Amino acid sequence: MTIVTEQVSDFQAITALLEQYFDALHRADTELLSRIFDDEAHLYAPGVRRSKKQWLDLVASRPVPAQLAHPFAYQILSVELAGEQAMAKVRCPLLGRQYIDYLGLLQEQGSWRIVAKLYADNPFTDPNHN
């Protein structure tokens, strides 16, 4: 039962971290994003490679979805948990775009952190309709 309990606890911790991620994206809260991403995290999109610092600088300089009254419609699509590593697939409607993010997470020193982010426009949505 300990393994099952640990998995449930880890899943809950990951889910809470993903909710913080959504909230931070929506409010452009770079301090919170910095805390939930590993210092060495990198972000990848087709034709784009960014360090955590480069990405946080962009987040700080772009419009803030919450201030624009954009709906909060982020969703966890899946979470795969394997011991101290996990992969989350999330839907992020952000600033008129529909992103699918794959977030790689590691548990180190008792805490879950995002160590990598892959993101791209959702190919299954019409870009002209949110």
Domains of the chain: residue spans and CATH: 2-121 (3.10.450.50)
Beta strands in 1-130 (DSSP E): 37-45, 48-51, 75-82, 85-94, 97-108, 111-121
3-state secondary structure of 97: strand
pLDDT tens, N- to C-terminus, the chain (130 residues): 444 456 669 999 999 999 999 999 999 999 999 999 999 999 999 999 999 999 999 999 999 999 999 999 999 999 999 999 999 999 999 998 999 999 999 999 989 999 999 999 876 665 454 4
Q: CA-CA distance, 32 to 125, in Å (whole number)?
A: 29
pTM of structure: 0.88
Q: What was the pLDDT predicted at 130?
A: 45
